[in-house]
Structure 1
Amino acid sequence: MSMIAQFKPHLPFLRPYARALTGTQQSGDAYILASLEALKEDPGQIKTASSARVTLYKFFHAIWSTTGAHLEGGMKSGVSAPESRLRKLAPVERQAFLLTTLEGFTRAQACEILDRTIVELEALLDAAHREIEKQLATSVLIIEDEPIIAADLAHLVEDMGHKFAGGATTRRQAVEMARRVKPGLILCDVQLADNSSGIDAIQDILTEIDVPVIFITAFPERLLTGERPEPTYLITKPFQDDTVKAAISQALFFRTEAAIEET
């Protein structure tokens, strides 16, 4: 089987993860390309890993850890807010947390990807949870037409130390509320109460305010069409609380300084 055939099924999953970790789609894709080139140079490594997906993530992390994950030195003035915050955190701790929650790898697979023992991994996960608790608090707008799900999400964000700014169930309500409360983060469903679109609501909102958005939907195929820029943060229903928490932490980590000052 060719390398392309082996890794092609896993690239759609690695791309959102790489974007979340590096901050932009362009940089995430660049690191993925570098990983594939490294694999091409050393194809023997493919046979030593437990699966093609683990191999792909392992090489991505090898490239990332030797370049993007070490921004502490040689940074020029005027760096972006995400880069500034990245220098204050331990990237491998976030990686361990994201691999076992957002990406759904087992602890054994995460150990293989990060080249860590299980004891080391558990220590990283503990530290990651503590880091997440220190994330900057903000106000969160929830666009969701299912009352139980909306209530669960509101409780989750408040449990993380954020403020629940309010909920909306239609496109019109969402736009009006976003205009009024100016949230620091939005959690948004795709299909809303009056058959309006959460995607359209977000497009309207983003013309007025710059805010990170996490889509939480039972219809991910409506967002992964390739016809428009794909969302960096996409969670499929039914969701796990830890998955949502991980996405929230990453979304807030990469928000702009302007957004921080407004909340």
Structure 2
Amino acid sequence: MTADASPQHLSRIIADLLPYLRRYARALTGSQSGGDRYAATTLEALLIDRSVFQRGLSHKVALFHSFHQIWSSSGAPVEEGETGLKGRAQEHLKRLTPNTREALLLRTIEEFEPEEIATIMDIETDEVEYLLRVAADEMRDAVAGRIMIIEDEAIIALDLQSIVADMGHRVTGVARTHEEAVALFEAERPDMILSDIQLADGSSGIEAVNEILATAGDVPVTFITAFPERLLTGERPEPAFVITKPYSEAQVRSAISQAMFFASTETLIA
């Protein structure tokens, strides 16, 4: 083992990449607890065998490849016994083409290139391209509805509204502050919330969403932030779906589809 591949060096590398692995794992499972179980199992496996980091891959590709060995060996399970929105989401999941959501998340949320996804998933690049096309179609057709936007920057809000409308959803309105967000939700309950973290008057999108969900129950949420690693610490409840600023249209489309599909209601403690 070279100096760069020493256990101490790898520990630092993995620690830096872990928030992104946990984000991906949560998006796959639809919950923080479920995703973290797979991430933890991956780390346990790497304690035994670190050889994937000696294959000339980028560190992030190597880590995600290790995760996928665990994920695929468990059969990418669908949890049973869920009720309500999550129960319906699990029923949708059973009908999806295998490996499509994995490929879509790896490409749009984690921004891997198709060749890297092929390495991570142990498939051919042509198959990755096929999976991405199928995933986009299946996720788009699975759910549609009303989306509420919490965003204080006018240009970004307009961009998000355009993306949401183009996907076939309807925007119930745009809130710029905590108070506006609560009032907008009470005026018309959306099927999903797309929320920034820092709002115009210094208030918190996290606090606004938590107040809404305290009484509203099951409403899926996607958060937007320039610093996702600050949210994905594992020290408090976290959202299953996080978009990193600056975002791409593909990221927004994927995150919205994934969040509505899984009806994730997990939030943050501000």
Q: What TM-score, normalized by structure 2, do the two folds share?
A: 0.86
The amino acid of 2:129's aligned partner reads: E
Task: Decide whether the 8 Å contact of 1:190 with 1:219 is kept in 2.
Answer: no
Alpha-carbon shift at residue 204 of structure 1 (Å)? 1.2
The amino acid of 2:252's aligned partner reads: V
The amino acid of 2:113's aligned partner reads: T
Alpha-carbon shift at residue 145 of structure 1 (Å)? 1.4
CA distance in 1, matches of 2:96, 2:196: 31
CA distance in 1, matches of 2:199, 2:165: 23
Pair 1:58–1:219, CA change in 2 (3 A): closer
Give the aligned length: 253
Percent same amino acid among aligned pairs? 46
Aligned 1:169-248 pairs, distance under 5 A: 169-210=176-217, 211-218=219-226, 220=228, 223-224=231-232, 228-248=236-256
Decide which of 146, 150, 170 is 2:153's aligned counterpart.
Answer: 146
* SS of alignment partner, residue 134 of structure 1: helix
Pair 1:30–1:77, CA change in 2 (3 A): closer
CA distance in 1, matches of 2:186, 2:119: 46
2:48 match: 41
CA distance in 1, matches of 2:63, 2:252: 24
CA distance in 2, matches of 1:186, 1:29: 23
1:32 aligns with 2:39: yes
1:255 aligns with 2:263: yes
Task: Decide whether the 8 Å contact of 1:156 with 1:241 is kept in 2.
Answer: yes
| Root-mean-square deviation (Å) | 2.1
Higher relative contact order (CA 8 A, sep 6+): 2
Decide which of 1, 7, 32 is 2:14's aligned counterpart.
Answer: 7
1:109 match: 116
Task: Decide whether the 8 Å contact of 2:32 with 2:237 is kept in 1.
Answer: no
1:156 match: 163
Task: Decide whether the 8 Å contact of 1:23 with 1:82 is kept in 2.
Answer: no
Q: Which runs of 4+ in 1 moved over 4 A?
A: 75-79, 219-222, 224-227
* SS of alignment partner, residue 188 of structure 1: strand
Pair 1:221–1:21, CA change in 2 (3 A): closer
The amino acid of 2:241's aligned partner reads: Y
Task: Decide whether the 8 Å contact of 1:22 with 1:68 is kept in 2.
Answer: no
Alpha-carbon shift at residue 66 of structure 1 (Å)? 2.4
Task: Decide whether the 8 Å contact of 1:143 with 1:169 is kept in 2.
Answer: yes
1:137-179 per-residue CA deviation (whole Å, 9 max, x = no partner) reads: 1110001111221111111111111111111111111001111
Task: Decide whether the 8 Å contact of 2:19 with 2:229 is kept in 1.
Answer: no
Pair 1:214–1:43, CA change in 2 (3 A): same
1:55 match: 62
